[in-house]
């Protein structure tokens, strides 16, 4: 456990030692604000809800999470530090989890820094704060799911850009395969059972539940497995690289 | 401390390492020699547990590296080829990270960092970011990382690669000093390094061990070993050849250079071990013929001759 935390600390330090962290935080906050107020029309709705804030997260994360995670393993491969890391007396699992946690903590920090919007909505009206808490939890899990996929794609290649693109494509699939505007079109082409099967992989139904204030155990299990499976795949890929 | 048994590694159809066995005890410094692509790095990566072997066993301090990797890795310090480092950290931060991962913390950690920084002459760059370091400092930081926990076993892949002559000298003397209390294995393709630092050398070619012995033993395998070089003034080369040809202990006489007035000849011994007699006989012949001898020198053998003869270079015609 201690070695996981040592890895996590190093990775987090890596974010804040470069301007990347600050650039990311600023862009994330600007984008969430822009989407909430300009496109989500938070003010014009005249409703005490953060729905127009959280509804954009699956789309904003689509680009920002891969940007945070794309270097996780590809940079280790490119710099050759993977050889150093994996000959230290720690297991590969500890490294994978430590690195993943560092990025997840960083994304959570970004999410926490959106608190002014929560204060704003409470100042302006009387929102259901339990829904807001559930939505934050959903957003937290969503970031973890995307990040875990990025961890896997970053192990595929020593090129961060390829890692980024692969991750965006996979995450986009997980969004679109359960997004009604897409599934409605696909339903006219493929049998309903197929569409439903594919849609079951989507992050959207789970996220909608969280955004409606429900913390459903099935949604939690879904997100934990979407986090777990790519991490497992990361392990397999890295073992495969060395064999 | 290190026991390598029948180690093999193949990447697809290519056999990178083929049935390599050797062992290493405390107090030994083993030089791992071989042309590029001979399998040196692959062997070291298997010893340090970075890549799993296709077949064979590596035991480090009694721990099987495949079965019990964490314990084995704890005993070792490893400097990978070209000394990879986390460039976003300072030298001190990086060494602190390596110490912490190895379970050294608090006051011990500060002590371990100080010790490594002292030993590797890193004081002047202690708080500097790794990506601003020159190659020599980077290499030494990698070296410091390998010795941060004062390991019993040190594995280093080309520790002097890319260093200037002064730094090479420093690193070699550091290896020699540490070799008294540790088991050290390092790879190189610089032959003088083996003579300067190693107690034993292994030459590996195309994945196989082709020679294993002390540097002196290896040098003795040279064709030139124990031959004498005689430099004479004012005598015809044919007369020198005929005169030296009468020496019964000599197998062969060759003329190395013949630039009037100096003739340089090489006399090869008939059998190894008779070199003292051969030297005396050459003196006797020279005295008999009243040659003006400038110099007479015994050849100890050259490692690079041995190396060239027993490794198949890809630059040599098959």
Alpha-carbon distance values, B177 to B95, B195, B198 (Å) = 21, 15, 11
Q: A84 vs chain B: nearest CA distance in angstroms?
A: 7
Q: Is B82 on the interface with A (CB under 8 A)?
A: yes
B89: in domain: yes
Q: Is B80 on the interface with A (CB under 8 A)?
A: yes
Q: Are residues B29 and B146 in the same domain?
A: yes
Alpha-carbon distance values, B55 to B6, B17, B21, B174 (Å) = 7, 10, 12, 34
Q: Are residues B164 and B254 in the same domain?
A: no
B241: in domain: yes
Residue B318 has pLDDT above 50, yes or no: no
Q: How many Å separate Cα A7 from the centre of its chain? A: 20
Give the domain CATH number at B262.
3.30.70
Q: Are residues B190 and B232 in the same domain?
A: no
**How do residues A52-88 score in pLDDT, each as one tens digit?**
889 899 999 999 999 999 999 999 999 999 999 999 9
Backbone dihedral region for residue B119 (phi beyond 0: left; psi -120 to 50: alpha; all else: beta): alpha
Determine the length of chain A: 243
CB-based burial label for A208 (10 Å; 0-12, 13-18, 19+) = middle
Range in A115-119, B67-71, B268-272 with the lowest mean pLDDT: B268-272
CB contact under 8 A, B45 and A84: no
**How do residues B10-58 score in pLDDT, each as one tens digit?**
988 888 999 999 999 999 999 998 888 888 999 999 999 999 999 999 9
Q: A143 vs chain B: nearest CA distance in angstroms?
A: 25
As a whole number of angstroms, the distance between CA A119 and CA A121 comes to 6
Tokens of B194: 């083996």
Q: B80 vs chain A: nearest CA distance in angstroms?
A: 7
Tokens of A216: 């459903």
Cβ atoms of B33 and B188 within 8 Å: the answer is yes
Tokens of B205: 């070619």
Q: Are residues B114 and B176 in the same domain?
A: yes
Tokens of B271: 């059998």
As a whole number of angstroms, the distance between CA B33 and CA B209 comes to 10
Question: Out of B48, B71, B85, whose CB is closest to A81?
Answer: B85
As a whole number of angstroms, the distance between CA A204 and CA A179 comes to 6
B189: in domain: yes
Closest CA to B224 of B252, B248, B247, B202: B252
Q: Are residues B212 and B75 in the same domain?
A: yes
Percentage of chain B with pLDDT > 70?
96
Q: How many Å separate Cα A239 from the centre of its chain? A: 24
Closest CA to A3 of B64, B70, B75: B70
Nearest chain A residue (CA) to B148: A88
B307: in domain: no
Q: Are residues B92 and B214 in the same domain?
A: yes
As a whole number of angstroms, the distance between CA B186 and CA B30 comes to 6
Q: Are residues B280 and B210 in the same domain?
A: no
CB contact under 8 A, B70 and A7: no
> How does DSSP classify residue A38?
I
Sequential DSSP letters for A177-188: TT-HHHHHHHHT
B309: in domain: no
**How do residues A204-235 score in pLDDT, each as one tens digit?**
888 989 999 888 899 999 999 999 999 999 99
B151 three-state secondary structure: coil
Tokens of A157: 């290649």
With bands split at pLDDT 50, 70 and 90, how would you rate the model's confidence at A187? confident
CB contact under 8 A, A83 and B49: no
Report ipTM (2 d.p.).
Answer: 0.88
Last residue of a domain, one of B178, B203, B220: B220
Give the domain CATH number at B185.
3.40.50.300
As a whole number of angstroms, the distance between CA B131 and CA B138 comes to 9
Q: Are residues B123 and B211 in the same domain?
A: yes
Last residue of a domain, one of B220, B252, B283: B220
Ranges of beta strands (E only) in chain B are 2-11, 14-24, 29-33, 55-60, 63-64, 76-79, 153-157, 183-188, 200-205, 208-213, 228-233, 250-259, 262-269, 292-298
Tokens of A147: 């990040």
Cβ atoms of A32 and A60 within 8 Å: the answer is yes
Sequential DSSP letters for B120-141: TT-GGGTTSBGGGS-HHHHHHH
Cβ atoms of B145 and B95 within 8 Å: the answer is yes
Sequential DSSP letters for B248-289: TTEEEEEEEEEETTEEEEEEEESSTT-HHHHHHHHHHHHHHT
CB contact under 8 A, A81 and B71: no
* Number of structural domains found in chain B: 2
Q: Are residues B21 and B100 in the same domain?
A: yes
B136: in domain: yes
Alpha-carbon distance values, B135 to A85, A118, B188 (Å) = 20, 51, 18
Domain of B166 in residue numbering reads as 2-220
Q: Is B55 on the interface with A (CB under 8 A)?
A: no
As a whole number of angstroms, the distance between CA B85 and CA A83 comes to 10
**How do residues B147-205 score in pLDDT, each as one tens digit?**
999 999 999 998 887 788 888 888 888 889 888 899 999 998 888 888 888 999 999 98
Residue B303 has pLDDT above 90, yes or no: no
Last residue of a domain, one of B193, B220, B247: B220
Closest CA to B223 of B200, B254, B202: B254
Q: Are residues B239 and B162 in the same domain?
A: no
Q: Are residues B152 and B32 in the same domain?
A: yes
Q: Are residues B118 and B46 in the same domain?
A: yes
């Amino acid at each position: 456990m201690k070695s996981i935390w040592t890895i996590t600390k190093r990775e987090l330090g890596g974010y804040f030692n470069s301007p990347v962290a600050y650039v990311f935080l600023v862009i994330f906050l600007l984008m969430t604000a822009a989407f909430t107020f300009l496109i989500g029309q938070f003010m014009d709705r005249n409703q005490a809800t953060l729905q127009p804030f959280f509804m954009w997260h699956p789309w904003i994360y689509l680009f920002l999470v891969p940007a945070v995670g794309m270097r996780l393993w590809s940079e280790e491969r490119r710099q050759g530090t993977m050889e150093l890391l994996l000959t230290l007396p720690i297991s590969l699992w500890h490294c994978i989890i430590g690195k993943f946690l560092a990025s997840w903590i960083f994304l959570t920090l970004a999410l926490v820094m959106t608190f002014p919007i929560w204060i704003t909505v409470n100042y302006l009206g009387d929102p259901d704060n339990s829904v807001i808490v559930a939505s934050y939890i959903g957003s937290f899990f969503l970031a973890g799911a995307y990040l875990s996929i990025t961890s896997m794609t970053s192990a595929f290649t020593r090129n961060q850009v390829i890692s980024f693109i692969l991750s965006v494509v996979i995450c986009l699939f997980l969004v679109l395969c359960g997004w009604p505007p897409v599934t409605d079109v696909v339903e006219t082409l493929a049998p309903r059972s197929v569409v439903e099967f594919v849609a079951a992989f989507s992050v959207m139904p789970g996220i909608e539940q969280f955004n409606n204030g429900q913390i459903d155990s099935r949604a939690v299990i879904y997100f934990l497995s979407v986090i777990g499976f790519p991490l497992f795949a990361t392990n397999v890929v890295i073992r495969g690289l060395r064999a | 401390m290190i026991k390598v048994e029948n180690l093999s590694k193949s990447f697809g159809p290519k056999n990178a390492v083929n049935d390599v066995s050797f062992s290493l005890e405390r107090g030994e410094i083993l030089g791992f020699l071989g042309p590029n692509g001979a399998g040196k790095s692959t062997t070291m990566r298997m010893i340090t547990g970075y890549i799993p072997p296709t077949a064979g066993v590596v035991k480090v301090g009694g721990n099987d590296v495949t079965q019990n990797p964490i314990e084995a890795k704890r005993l070792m310090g490893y400097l990978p080829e070209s000394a990879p480092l986390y460039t976003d950290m300072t030298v001190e931060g990086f060494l602190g990270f390596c110490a912490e991962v190895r379970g050294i913390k608090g006051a011990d950690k500060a002590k371990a960092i100080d010790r490594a920084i002292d030993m590797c002459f890193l004081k002047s760059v202690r708080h500097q970011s790794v990506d601003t370091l020159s190659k020599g400092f980077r290499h030494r930081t990698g070296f410091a990382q390998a010795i941060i926990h004062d390991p019993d076993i040190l594995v280093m892949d080309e520790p002097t690669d890319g260093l200037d002559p002064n730094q090479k000298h420093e690193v070699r003397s550091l290896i020699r000093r540490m070799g008294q209390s540790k088991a050290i294995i390092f790879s190189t393709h610089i032959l003088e390094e083996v003579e300067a630092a190693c107690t034993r050398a292994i030459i590996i070619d195309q994945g196989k061990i082709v020679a294993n012995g002390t540097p002196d033993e290896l040098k003795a395998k040279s064709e030139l070993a124990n031959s004498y070089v005689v430099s004479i003034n004012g005598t015809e080369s044919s007369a020198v050849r005929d005169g030296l040809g009468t020496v019964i202990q000599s197998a062969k006489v060759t003329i190395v250079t013949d630039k009037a007035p100096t003739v340089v000849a090489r006399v090869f011994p008939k059998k190894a071990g008779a070199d003292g007699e051969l030297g005396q006989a050459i003196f006797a012949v020279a005295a008999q013929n009243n040659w003006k001898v400038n110099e007479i020198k015994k050849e100890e053998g050259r490692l690079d001759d041995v190396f060239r003869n027993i490794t198949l270079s890809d630059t040599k015609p098959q």
